[in-house]
Amino acid sequence: MLASSRLLSIAAAALAGAAVAFLAVPALVQGKAEAQPRAVTPRGPLAADELANIELFKKSSPSVVHITSLGVQRDMFSMNVQQVPRGTGTGFVWDADGHIVTNFHVIQGANAARVTLADQSTYDARLVGQFADRDLAVLRIEAPKDKLPPIAVGSSRDLLVGQRVYAIGNPFGLDQTLTIGIISALNREIESFNGRSIRGVVQTDAAINPGNSGGPLLDSAGRLIGVNTQIASPSGASAGIGFAIPVDEVNRIVPRLIRDGRFVRPAIGVSPGAANLHRALNLPKGVAIVQVVGGSPAARAGLQPFRRGNRGEVLPGDVITAINDEAVNNFDDMLTLLENRQPGDTVTLTVWRDGRTRKQALVLAAPN
């Protein structure tokens, strides 16, 4: 009995010793050592370009906003209608009065829009004006002025290929995203959503994705140099080719949208002929006139349209080949040159008719 008790005590002591040994060596689990946390290496000083990027984002991002366009949808179980999101995009604060600049296509077809500021406060927006030809629109919100830091405006006439640029926007709905690249090319031409050409466009490899539309493209000083508008991509996502409307165009159009509620292009009062008319009659490049509006500047200046004679023959008309000595190759060229002027301005047309060229002055009128 004593022997048995002694054996039990020895066994118990052995087990206790084993338990102590197990508890004393926690790193041994099923024959493997537990991973231990690595010592953290203190972060070294940031590079100068990193500090510049951080500072630019801190300074510029409060001026960038998130835009949600809204449509009306009827409830499937009742006759009630409600506003529902249609899409999202980006915009930026133009002035402390609450004017927000974005792309026309961001709000195209929407019944309403909401603007979310950098501090996540949200405001209902009203449309001030839009100009589809340049894919630009202006909204306005009623917000405290201290929440509306206007973006710094630069120039696009002195940009250089290779200089660094920054895009801030809301790609795929992700707020306040910064991407960095360079100017890849200048003076590109893209097509707006209504078929008009947008010229002088800035091309960049800074990542631009759906949702970036309407956001700012900035130079290294944080100044606005373009409005991000389109990408060239086979997949619908960034492929390193993005396009921005040059800020000089923005600065020309936005103040007029704010002032007039629309972009007023002065009129001459003519209708253009189709391209095949030029080919059929072997006409020079320009705008062949096929109709002159009665009482218009063109009518007062004596411009003549191409027309049919009594025997069905085509009677000679006028072709506008230049405005103030700037070449007009087609109707789009003419509209672009007129957009740089105001109703009441006097311009000099270069007009070709039946092999002869003349200069003709006329005063531009407001469109009907």
**Cα 249 from Cα 265, distance rounded (Å):** 14
Q: Which one is catalytic: 63, 66, 105, 219?
A: 105
Q: Give the residues across from 141 on adjacent strands.
A: 125
**Cα 78 from Cα 108, distance rounded (Å):** 27
And the tokens for 199? Answer: 């010229």
Cβ–Cβ < 8 Å for 278, 301: no
The reply to whether 192 belongs to the active site is no
Exposure string over 223-258, b if 16+ CB within 10 A, otherwise e:
ebbbbbbbbeeeeeebeebbbbbbbbbbeebbebbb
Q: Which one is catalytic: 133, 135, 175, 219?
A: 135
The reply to whether 135 belongs to the active site is yes
**Cα 104 from Cα 34, distance rounded (Å):** 59
Cβ–Cβ < 8 Å for 168, 57: yes
Q: Which one is catalytic: 60, 69, 184, 213?
A: 213
Which 3 state secondary structure label does DSSP give 48? Answer: helix
Q: Give the residues across from 242 on adjacent strands.
A: 204, 231
The reply to whether 66 belongs to the active site is no
Q: Which positions are catalytic?
A: 105, 135, 213
